[in-house]
Structure 1
Amino acid sequence: MTIQGWILIFVFVGILLALAKPVGLWLFTLYEGRRTPLHAVLGPVERGFYKLAGINPDEDQSWRRYAVHMLLFNAVLLVFTYAILRLQGILPLNPLGYAGVSDHLAFNTATSFTTNTNWQSYGGESTMSNLSQMLGLTIHNFLSAATGIALAFALFRGFARREAKAIGNFWADVTRVTLYLLLPICIVYALVLIANGVPQTMAGSVDVTTLEGVKQTLALGPVASQEAIKMLGTNGGGFFNANSAHPFENPNAFTNLIQMLSIFVIGTGLTYCFGKAVGNTRQGWAILTAMMILFLAGVTITYWQEAAGNPILHQLGVAGGNMEGKEVRFGIAASALFAVVTTAASCGAVNAMHDSFTALGGMIPLFNMQLGEIVIGGVGAGIYGFLLFAILAVFVAGLMVGRTPEYVGKKIEGREVKLAVLAIAILPLIILGFTALSSVLDAGLAGPLNKGPHGFSEILYAFTSGVANNGSAFAGLTANTPYYNALLGIAMWLGRFFIIVPMLAIAGSLAAKKHHAESAGSFPTTGGLWVGLLVGIILILGGLTFLPSLALGPIADHLAMIRGQLY
């Protein structure tokens, strides 16, 4: 580890914390549906959408109606994208003449982008036309991200409202987030990327001659526009197969830094927005503090392991840290930081191959996702996932003080606790179940590149990434098969919506309750004790649930490595 590496990490954290409040205030404005300076230009567009769709944005919806509209919206988008991918060969804007995508890959990809996972079983520049990239995939990057933020707003209203029967309007939330947050930022963001060398063109490729006289054909396309929303919306689908390790997606250290910041910036802002929504910004800062403790712990372990390198290579006389699978223009510190950022959020973009990390260095990105992607987390999904853990933590705290647990003025009773447990239990049930299945079936065992613990880690990582709606890959699993495309597609859908529906039920239940002022018997939920309890509950649940699988995978791999054993 180097001083320069730690400076990069602290600069990143410092900028992120400085942006939390201003971004949170903008989000709070959208949460309340108030007018912004952008309404002068985009207000007519918003009203036009409502009129065209026959929507009354001021009409509140019950949690059931909110959930039904959200599910139908996403189901239609899935079918729409599936059709585009299957018909790609006869549709326009296909300069390289790619054929339609196979049925199982189209299902996997459509599900992946609908659920904000953006898992890719294909090479983007060798499979997808410009139309498929722009209309089939990029549109999901906006709408799946907007859906996540809208759902977070719905849960915020559940905590903030008193004796209410509704939690907002899904269509209004999605429209406002897209028009007044994601779209304007992405326009500026894309221009910055273009200025730094990221292509934005309708051309399919360009022929070049290298300095050695070798002729090459380089894939091009509308990269900058997709890259911007890919990061800001914590989507992660790369235009190119190498993702953010490709110089056309991530040319230099500056773009690498702003990409990492853009992955986290909305998630951190939502913590402050939650504090504003419930009338106590200290609640938001307490959540952000717990998130940052988990994040910094993960960065420290990953950076330490990658900087330490592989002892087997050291014995062969190859000194230094682990640079396998990393870009030399980023180095170990920036690669380790990026890996933790992208898996702490549900982004999935990568600037290094996680399969080439050391065993424990690769375990932290895996564990981040197994915690439910709540360490900052995906846009919207991170904060509402974290609040599910907060409900369990305050329930435990209530047992400690011998009173009915309360959180931000709302009594947490049996219904909310049961729904929170249901939502949280979905993740390990699907991850471990599908991993076990794939570890014994021939179709599953045909996928891993490696044998032994590392091969098991490749399977475990794939289903963890899919269910957690992250989309990053260990890069050692051959997943473009009917078996993995189908099973991962199902896992992504269940991992997204089987958590959302119980969460919305909690929002509806809380909104109907009265507000109770804090008393001497209430457990304080803004101080260090509360932050420690939150971190402890998250680690205990994650550790107890996934420790056996981690012991079979990365931990066993690490023990083999320090003994000099190779698979």
Structure 2
Amino acid sequence: MNIALTILALLIVLGISWRYLGSYLEAVFEGRVKFLSFIERRFYKLLGVDPEAEQSWQSYARSLIIFSVLSIAFCYGILRLQAHLPLNQSHLPGVPPALAWNTAVSFITNTNWQNYAGETTMTYLSQMMALVVPQFTSAAVGIAAAIALSRGFSRKLSKTIGNFWVDITRVIIYVLLPVAFIAAIVFMGQGAVQTFSHSVTIRNAATGFKQTIPLGPVASLETIKQFGTNGGGYFNANGAHPFEDPTAMTAFLSVVLLLAIPVSLTYTFGKMIKRKRTGLLLLATMAFFFFVSLGVATVAEKAPSPVMSAATHGQVVHAFEGKESRFGIFDSVLYDVASTQTSTGSINSQLDSYSPVGGAVALGGMMLGEVSPGGVGSGLYTILAFAIVTVFIAGLMVGRTPEFLGKKIQAKEIKLASIAVLIMPIVVLVATAIAVSVPAGRAGPLNAGPHGFSEILYAITSQGNNNGSAFGGLSGNTAFYNIIGGVVMLLGRFGVMIPVLALSGSLAAAPIVGETDGTLKTDSFLFGSLLVGVIVIVGALSFFPVLSLGPIAEALSHGRLF
């Protein structure tokens, strides 16, 4: 499929998803979808939850934290004890403490960073219970936080923002499970593996060489990995492995799945606040960053490689190293750009082999706060925090009290939004500085110079943004990187999410004010331009110095950008 047809098909499918999945999500959270109510009621009874009782933002946040802490402990326990648990197909030992900590935190924070090779480290039980189950629950937590913030804008003089337990239950049973189940059947039909059989050993009749081929329940992990913007692969090769991503159809479906919910939530938000044009403007802002990134990365990766062209005495050679050889350069770039800009982190090619500009695009998508379109839920609530900062700046320009969607933005709201926007850059920059300052951190990168610095910077940025994609070239499975990575992932997740929930509570308690002639239109081209500018400026001011030490310095050392 050529580039134009691929983009056209993607736009059509996502346009349908935006309209109908977005509307369906709104109906789910408003309680109008009830066809699985008999299952839903049993969950509430098991949890001891009154589905009619709503929570304040403090109670909502407390439930979220308790659920996440218990989930981390559950996953950690399974990983440490997997040698003594069933479905241990290869008699694998328990996961070491630092790696178990990093992995448990990673999957519960929707990061899915992997400092291990799944097929040689995890048992079938660990893959299903410690890795697949959190890919449903962590996605549900992110979506619930975005819906809670949406309620903050839609309500007035309210002390509550919903019920956390109801929100995550409904999104799991009505959205995540059904779509992941159907998509898994499609993946299996295309050749993805789904079995509890042991590994298969084959022998080459000519050479006598033996090879062991790992198997497992792959398809069921693959679909929620993409649909929940999780990214954790069953195999070390992730999306490049033919058992995970067997055909061009599954590669395209993977991109659709990982973009579907982040895109659709903008329609859900617009419908909940009864301002669909605002939801459309948020979508347009996300699309702007996405397609600019896709265009720049495609040009960079399709440009002739100066090193390889010189080695072939002037013959034009493209940088095909590290790309998905079955599908070509553009499909590799599309998959990885979509993944790094949606907090998914699954890859089907090696970013360490990309050009400096191609690697910078992957970094830039995360450094802008992953709002293009970001992860499930996290993309929406992050761009809304940026929108509040934008309204505040615009208000300062004209000397008015800023208003956004009928709510006055006071000192409390701007402080909370600023924390949500700035906590990620602070965490990433401080952790990167620590990593390059201590021997244990400097021992990690495979390469020296700017490229080695990029390997460290990418790993910390990926974890701080709860993305999980790996640049490659970094020996991350050490006590230092496992421990600091776990801390960075926790701060990157809950350091943003808790201020967002506090912001939701503050907005829900505020009255809705009417528009006047002086009210800034937040569904206009002008506001969209201001929003883009604020996102770029915050990202540029925060990260341009470290980018100059990494990919920019590397590109300039080649004497060219493309």
Fold match (TM-score > 0.5): yes
Q: Distance in 2 between matches of 1:245 and 1:320?
A: 22
Query: What is the identity percentage for the equivalent residue pairs of Structure 1 and Structure 2?
Result: 48
Q: Distance in 2 between matches of 1:246 and 1:228?
A: 14
1:229 aligns with 2:227: no
1:312 CA drift (Å):
1.9
The 1:420–1:563 alpha-carbon spacing in structure 2 relative to 1, beyond 3 Å, is closer
Q: CA deviation at 1:404?
A: 1.1
Match of residue 270, structure 1, among 255, 265, 271: 265
SS of residue paired to 1:439: helix
The match for 1:397 among 394, 398, 402 is 394
* AA matched with 1:308: A
Equivalent in the alignment of 1:474: 471
> Pairwise mapping of residues 379-528 of structure 1 onto structure 2 (< 5 A)?
379-528=376-525
| Shift, 1:212, TM fit | 5.5
Q: Measure, in 1, the Cα distance between the counterparts of 2:172 and 2:241.
A: 28
Deviation at 1:330, TM superposition (A): 1.5
CA distance in 2, matches of 1:212, 1:8: 41
> Which of these residues, 99, 110, 135, is aligned with residue 105 of structure 1?
99
Aligned counterparts of 1:209 and 1:224: Cα–Cα separation in 2:
26
- Matched with 1:552 is 549
Could you tell me how far apart the structure 2 residues matched to 1:338 and 1:218 are?
A: 25
What is the match of residue 82 of structure 2?
A: 88
Q: CA deviation at 1:210?
A: 5.0
Instruction: Report if aligned partners of 1:346, 1:377 keep a CA contact under 8 Å in 2.
Output: yes
Distance 2:206 2:482 in 1: 40
Task: Please show how residues 286-305 of structure 1 align to structure 2 within 5 Å.
Answer: 286-305=281-300
Check conservation: 1:401, 1:523, Cα contact below 8 A: no
Candidates 109, 114, 117, aligned match of 2:108? 114
Uncovered stretches (5+) of structure 2, i.e. residues with no partner: none
Report the AA paired with residue 425 of structure 1. L
* Distance in 2 between residues matched to 1:15 and 1:47, nearest whole Å: 34
Q: d(CA) in 1 for partners of 2:295 and 2:406?
A: 36
1:245 maps to which residue?
240
RMSD: 1.3
Of 301, 324, 328, the match for 1:306: 301
Asked whether the 8 Å contact 1:395–1:417 carries over to 2, the reply is yes
User: How far apart are 1:562 and its partner, in Å?
Assistant: 2.8
Q: Counterpart of 2:301 in structure 1: which amino acid? A: E
Q: Report 1:2-401 matches (<5 A).
A: 4-36=2-34, 39=35, 42-210=36-204, 214-317=209-312, 319-401=316-398
For residue 121 of structure 1, report the CA deviation from its aligned partner: 0.2
1:533 aligns with 2:535: no
> Secondary structure of 1:217's partner?
strand
Answer whether contact 2:459 2:470 (CA < 8 A) is retained: yes
CA contact (8 A) 1:307 1:320 kept: no
Contact kept in structure 2, 1:312 and 1:562, CA below 8 Å: no
Cα distance, 1:17 vs. partner?
2.2
Q: By how many angstroms is 1:405 displaced?
A: 1.0
Q: 1:322 to 1:5 in 2, by over 3 A?
A: farther
Provide the rounded CA distance (Å) in 1 between the counterparts of 2:279 and 2:203.
54
Q: Which amino acid aligns with 2:51?
A: P
How far apart, in 2, do the equivalents of 1:541 and 1:490 lie?
23
User: TM-score under structure 1 normalisation?
Assistant: 0.97
Q: Which range moves more in the overlay, 452-461 or 324-333?
A: 324-333
Q: Deviations over 1:52-89 (max 9, x none)?
A: 22100111100000000000000000001000000010
Whole-angstrom CA distance in 2 between matches of 1:393 and 1:421: 11
Deviations 1:110-151 (A, max 9, x none): 000010000000000000000000011101000000001111
**Conservation of the 8 A alpha-carbon contact between 2:351 and 2:470:** yes
Is the contact between residue 449 and residue 477 of structure 1 (CA under 8 Å) also seen in structure 2? Answer: yes
Letter in 2 for 1:17: G
TM-score norm. by structure 2 comes to 0.98
**CA deviation after TM superposition for structure 1 residue 211, in Å:** 7.6
Distance 1:101 1:523, change over 3 A: same
> Shift of the alpha carbon at 1:563?
6.6
**Cα distance, 1:208 vs structure 2:** 2.6
